[in-house]
Amino acid sequence: MTKAELASKISEVTGIEKLTTLAVIESLMSEIKNSISMDEAVYLRGFGTFRAKKRAEKTGRNIKKNTTIIIPEHHIPAFKPSKTFVEKVKQNIK
């Protein structure tokens, strides 16, 4: 499902205009990105948690040149679904 399809679906269910729904979705995504970039987790009860996850420093290899490089410690965005979300997916996908 694309962002436009999601906006259409929400618009049908709620009766709110599609452009307004799309603006709300854009705003939600922007706020989640801003919060994670400031190392603040976003908790959505019944859905899950968006947060920054720390990756430790590690050694990587370039097989073609047969060299090793050090990949520095860094943060990546992560999502952990809630238990109810996981159970719903388990029940519906077979």
Condensed to tens digits (0 to 9), the pLDDT of residues 41-56 reads 999 999 999 999 999 9
Q: pTM (2 decimals)?
A: 0.79
Question: What percent of the chain lies above the pLDDT cut of 70?
Answer: 99
Question: CB 21: neighbour CB atoms within 10 A?
Answer: 19
The pLDDT of residue 2: 95
Domain regions of the chain by residue span: 1-35, 41-94
The pLDDT of residue 94: 65
* Alpha carbon distance 55, 67 (integer Å): 22
pLDDT, the chain, mean: 94
Low-confidence ranges of the chain (pLDDT < 70): 94
CATH entry 1.10.472.10 includes domain 41-94: no
Q: For the chain, where are the E strands, in sequence order? A: 42-44, 48-55, 58-62, 67-71, 74-81
Which residues in 1-13 are b (16+ Cβ under 10 Å) and which e? eeeeeebeebbee
